[in-house]
Amino acid sequence: MKKLFFILIAVLLAGCARQKDPTMERSDFVVLTDVIPDAILEIRYYSSYNFVGARIDGYEAPIALMTRQAADSLKVVSDELKAQGYRLKIWDAYRPQRAVNHFIRWAENLPDTAMKSIFYPMVDKSLLFEQGYIYARSSHSRGSTVDLTLIDAATGKELDMGSPFDWFGEESHPDYMGGPLKEDGKWGRIHKNRHILWDAMLRHGFTMIDSEWWHFTLANEPYPDTYFDFPIR
């Protein structure tokens, strides 16, 4: 009878394990500054200085989380760029699905344009889905994507990358070379700055997208099909 009791308990525990929601697990995630102590954080979605104009759901602490594999690869990037006189500045890393849902609700609320003049002055808010600025899913929620730029260690200033973070406009596209800045050759200098970051990231296993110069995903990411939703604490 005792043996049967323990068998039943084991079956029940196994059933509970199968029902556990994997998107709420964070055992393979690390605090990025534990791996890269000299990384500079400016977690925009913990603040109200972002395109929504409010703290985003799921950002309960101003920290950056990533999968261990992505953080370790980014550490190699950081060490290489540090030797060249640069430091990494992180705007976002892991992003809970609930944060993405917050973006969707905001995008559907067309009258709310409080931050338009700062982040999307040339784009009608009704076109944000159509033009690919807002998605129902984000690679950030898989835990191996990071938004970042470079700081000149000597001056403490960001390198000029041609557009701010989260700028909804073609100036954010990696291959953009147009506009009035093209006439005085400034975009050539901007692209040199961008390539310092891009070359290091691509060399150490990250990939880019064609709409945001600051956005990188580990090519061999450990959770390519899982969109996590645990809050950042």
Q: How far apart are CA 145 and CA 215, in angstroms?
A: 7
The reported pTM is 0.88
**Quick check: 35 and 72 in contact, CB under 8 A?**
yes
What distance in Å separates the CA atoms of residue 130 and residue 123, rounded to the nearest whole number? Answer: 11
Q: How far apart are CA 158 and CA 151, in angstroms?
A: 4
User: Which residue among 42, 158, 212, 221 is the active-site one?
Assistant: 212
Tokens, residue 183: 């006439």
Q: Is 139 a residue whose pLDDT tops 50? A: yes
User: Between 87 and 8, where is the model more confident?
Assistant: 87
Question: 142: closest CA among 215, 78, 45, 54?
Answer: 215
Check if 130 is active-site.
no
Whole-number mean pLDDT of the chain?
A: 90
Split at pLDDT 50, 70, 90, the class of 11 is very low
pLDDT at residue 17, rounded to an integer: 40
Domain regions of the chain by residue span? 29-218
Place of tokens 């605090």: 31
Share of the chain above pLDDT 90, in %: 81
User: What architecture (CATH level 2) is domain 29-218?
Assistant: 2-Layer Sandwich (3.30)
**Pair type for strands 86-92 and 40-41:** parallel
Q: What is the pLDDT of residue 27?
A: 80
